[in-house]
Amino acid sequence: MHGDNIIHIVELVKRYGGLTAVDGISLDVKKGEMFGLVGPDGAGKTSTIRVLCGLTNFDSGEISLLKQSLRDSKNKIQKQIGYLSQKFSLYGDLTVDENIEFFADIHNVKNYKERRDELLEFTRLKNFRTRFADNLSGGMKQKLALACSLIHKPQIIFLDEPTTGVDPVSRRDFWKILSGLLKEGITIFMSTPYLDEAERCNRVAMMNKGKIIAMEKPDIIKTSIGKIIIEIVCSPVREAFKTLKENNGYDIQLFGDRINVVVDSYEKEYPEIKKILIENSIEIKDSRTITPTLENVFMYLIKTAS
């Protein structure tokens, strides 16, 4: 059944009243893979993860996890997966140690002490084990939440936007911990609004309005649109953006003090772009071609789909 796929989804649909949150998506995830679900708020990422964890019902489709049907074996599957939600509720008046102990209890893990020590070592929380969860920083709370969802040694862990609102240093730390989990053979299924994070996944599915608009290894997705990006540092940048949009309807994305223009050929199209900018008294400080980032591709795909 489904080869070595640990997650298998066919035509999944999830509705809330008249709203279709997940609109017929199909995907497979292999054992030991880090799979990223990427997209803006409201794309359907959280709904997909909650359905996969058996926390909410789905309207139609087929889902199997660990080679078992979610409809038939929900309780059995839930014992073998971990889930870290966006609003993971730690108990603020319990210490780090007590929080992990509490989750070990929920999962009926009897001899959890050795596992807890491993996890504290692993998440670098060992020196804070007697601290109340309420007194931890945002990044530490995330790590503790992760330790709690790993206490029962799940085979798959679902992470819903695990680094949202976490400072950059803690984000880096968190990623180190995740690569450690992959080495242990755990399969990671995560959602993120950050496209730079998605680049670290083995494969990503780009999601928009409940549908998957691209799914592949990040490098393949980036070359899939067959375009190049001209990055132009110029001033005033907003003027440049407006002028090019009005003149030629170029596909342009604005990033800080630079614009990215999506083109087929630098040689053919840059002279024209340069001419328009100079005629409109925009100063070009620098220009170069860059490989499309996931963000470029995502914005391009959304635009061409609409």
The predicted structure's pLDDT at residue 306: 67
Helix or strand holding residue 126 (H, E): none
> What is residue 261's DSSP assignment?
E
Residue carrying the six token digits 């640990």: 6
Q: Are residues 287 and 192 in the same domain?
A: no
Nearest to 14 by CA among 66, 52, 40: 52
Two structure tokens written together for 284: 């070009």
Q: Are residues 46 and 119 in the same domain?
A: yes
Q: Are residues 186 and 233 in the same domain?
A: no
Query: How many angstroms from the chain centroid is the CA of residue 228?
Result: 24
The predicted structure's pLDDT at residue 13: 97
The predicted structure's pLDDT at residue 3: 61
The predicted structure's pLDDT at residue 1: 43
Residue 114: give its domain's CATH number: 3.40.50.300
Residues contacting residue 116 through CB under 8 Å, at least 6 positions apart:
97, 100, 101, 104, 147, 151
- Give every strand in the sheet of 228-235, ordered side by side: 251-255, 258-263, 228-235, 283-290
Residue 269: give its domain's CATH number: 3.30.70.980
For residues 166 and 137, what is the distance between their CA atoms, to the nearest angstrom? 9
> What is residue 168's DSSP assignment?
H
Tens-binned pLDDT, residue by residue, of the chain (306 aa): 456 899 999 999 999 999 999 999 999 999 999 999 999 889 999 999 999 999 999 999 999 999 999 999 999 999 999 999 877 678 899 999 999 999 999 888 888 999 999 899 888 899 999 999 999 988 899 899 999 999 999 999 999 998 887 888 888 888 888 998 999 899 999 999 888 889 999 999 999 999 999 999 999 999 888 999 999 999 999 999 999 988 777 889 898 899 999 999 999 999 999 999 999 999 999 999 998 989 889 988 988 876
Q: Are residues 218 and 230 in the same domain?
A: no
The predicted structure's pLDDT at residue 2: 53
Angle (CA) 179-180-181 rounded to 5° is: 90
The predicted structure's pLDDT at residue 16: 95
Expressed as residue numbers, the domain containing 165 is 5-222
Residues contacting residue 63 through CB under 8 Å, at least 6 positions apart:
7, 8, 9, 10, 12, 51, 52, 69, 70, 71
Q: Are residues 185 and 262 in the same domain?
A: no
Q: Are residues 293 and 169 in the same domain?
A: no
Domain boundary among 187, 206, 222: 222
The predicted structure's pLDDT at residue 172: 86
Which residues does residue 37 pair with via DSSP β-bridges, in sequence order? 191, 205
Q: Are residues 100 and 67 in the same domain?
A: yes
Q: Are residues 94 and 114 in the same domain?
A: yes
Nearest to 143 by CA among 175, 98, 110: 175
Q: Are residues 26 and 165 in the same domain?
A: yes
Domain count, the chain: 2
Q: Are residues 218 and 267 in the same domain?
A: no
pTM for the structure as a whole: 0.88
